[in-house]
Amino acid sequence: MIDPIAAQAVASNQDEDYFDEGSYTTSIASSITDYKYEHGRRYHAYQEGRYLLPNDEVEQNRMDLQYHAVRLVFGDKLFFAPLQNDMKRVLDVGTGTGIWVEDVADSYPDTEVYGIDLSPIQPRWSAPNVKYQVDDVEQPWTFPRNHFDLIHTRIMLGSLRDWPLFFTQCLKHLRPGGYVECQELSVDARTDDDSLPENSALTAWCNNQYDAMKTIGMELKVTGDMIKKQMLEAGFVDVEVKEFKTPIGQWPQDEKMRETGAFQLVAMLEGIGGLTMALWTRFLGWKREDVEDELVKVKKEMQSKNVHSYWPTFAVYGRKPVE
């Protein structure tokens, strides 16, 4: 069990054996940047509808703030898998703005670092050991088998529909002895002191997110042990789970956790509209005005220092057996 976070005192108030880049990988072209717009937000064009969150500048900012919050929680570690400095190739799945790829490339300049995503929102200028591709990870992979030392994901719970297939693909494309690592955050706000109010707006938001995603086969409330089980079933060995808590807001006593909570709170305050609007209007039948009214309540609750909420966060890594 993870220790509770101490709060500040507050006033009472498919099978591919070869690399055929041209077959599936889509180059940056007008068809990919012909973005779709809904409720004033911009969404990806390639494989339209596969990913349900925006890809505009507001969402990119939220993703980067979220990244910094989780990196602080992880003690500045980019990954936990026990890999050496002689990694040749690393793949980041669902790379988003590419911030993890850029950090890994900077820390390991002799390693080729690949990032794939449905949206071409990565930096135009990167280190020479970085390569980005617009691709769909749930389509057949274009990389050779036995190719990567590490395959990494971060917060892909709202992106992948078929985790068993993903781990099967990882097993094929990792070199023997290579690792897959999933760094995930469960959309299931919790407290250690029962400080979420009765009829909590944040709890209701989590439940609605869960219900909306469930209609399209995605799971948002997960545990590290659930991911571990799927890795083991796919054939990985030496699977380890590391559990953490990501605070929402500046309520923790610890200075670093308070900084973490500040990043997370700003990410949510600025980005919750993009996380919510398409899901609730498309799948739950809400009207835009009603969504906006509900989010006012959620934001107010997240900003309260009397509510000591956090996201269960975990890193799970497993090794491909040496054949």
Mean pLDDT of 227-242: 97
CA distance 60 to 97: 6
Q: What is the pLDDT of residues 54-93, one digit of tens each?
A: 556 767 777 888 889 999 999 999 999 999 888 999 999 9
Task: List, as own/partner pairs, every contact residues 206-211 make where C-beta atoms lie below 8 angstroms and the sequence separation is at least 24, other chains included.
Answer: 208/276, 208/279, 208/280, 208/284, 209/275, 209/276, 209/279, 211/283, 211/284
CA distance 230 to 163: 8
Mean pLDDT of 191-208: 95
- Taking 80 as the threshold, does the pLDDT of residue 17 lie above it? no
CB atoms near residue 62 (< 10 Å): 23
Q: Among 37-41, 60-64, 92-96, 216-220, which range has the highest average pLDDT?
A: 92-96
What pLDDT, on the 0 to 100 scale, is given for residue 13?
A: 53
CA distances (Å), origin 123, targets 21, 95, 153, 233:
21, 11, 19, 36
Mean pLDDT of 41-46: 48
What pLDDT, on the 0 to 100 scale, is given for residue 54?
A: 57
- Taking 80 as the threshold, does the pLDDT of residue 156 lie above it? yes
Which of the four pLDDT bands, split at 50, 70 and 90, describes residue 37? very low
Mean pLDDT of 257-285: 91
Mean pLDDT of 286-298: 96
Note the pTM of the prediction, 2 decimals.
Answer: 0.84
Estimate to the nearest angstrom the gap between the alpha carbon of 14 and the chain centroid: 23
Strand 112-117 to strand 89-93: parallel, antiparallel, or no bridges (unpaired)? parallel
Higher pLDDT, 235 or 56: 235
Average pLDDT, the chain: 85
Which of the four pLDDT bands, split at 50, 70 and 90, describes residue 26? very low
Mean pLDDT of 12-29: 42
CA distance 316 to 323: 22
Of residues 135, 158, 136, the one with CA closest to residue 278: 158
